[in-house]
Amino acid sequence: MENRIEYFERMLADNPDNPTGLLALANEYNKVDRYEDEAAVLERYVAAVGGDDEGNAYLRLGEALQKIGRVDEARAAYEMGISQAEKFGHSGMAEDLRLALIELGER
């Protein structure tokens, strides 16, 4: 797994805002329970893509933040994801994010 992480880290050293590379690196961090790193990379991703359709990235960001105890930031990520999903007409993703927000509130 470290080889894949190193590969994507090197890729991003050359092009730090490469959306594909950022998502791939976040996936690899998730696989090895490096949630702090995953959250940092997903934050870079949503900043890099700007106003694009990134509802799923906000869901993943919220989950990573939740795992490391940053609950208020997780809530904000879910709320932003709902806004983005609705903006792009992705009602299913918006519902997934609302469910995550509800579950967060129940903890």
Residue-wise pLDDT for 32-55, tens only, equals 999 999 999 999 999 988 767 688
- CATH assignment of 2-105? 1.25.40.10
* Diameter of the chain measured on Cα atoms: 42
Amino acid at 31: K
How many Å apart are CA 82 and CA 35, to the nearest integer? Answer: 22
What is the structure's pLDDT at 49? 84
User: Which residue's entry shows tokens 């870079």?
Assistant: 44
List the pLDDT tens digit at each of the 107 positions of the chain.
569 999 999 999 999 999 999 999 999 999 999 999 999 999 999 998 876 768 889 999 999 999 999 999 999 999 999 999 999 999 999 999 999 999 998 76
pLDDT at residue 54, as a whole number: 84
**Side-chain half-sphere exposure of 101, counting CA atoms within 13 A:** 17
pTM above the 0.85 mark?
A: yes
Tokens coding 58: 């906000």
Helix spans in the chain (H) = 2-14, 19-31, 35-49, 55-67, 71-87, 91-105
Q: How far is Cα 85 from Cα 28, in angstroms, rounded to an integer?
A: 24
Q: Which residues contact 23 (CB under 8 A, 6 or more apart)?
A: 45, 57
What are the extents of the domains in the chain? 2-105
The predicted pLDDT at position 50 comes to: 73
**pLDDT score of 107:** 65
pLDDT at 51: 64
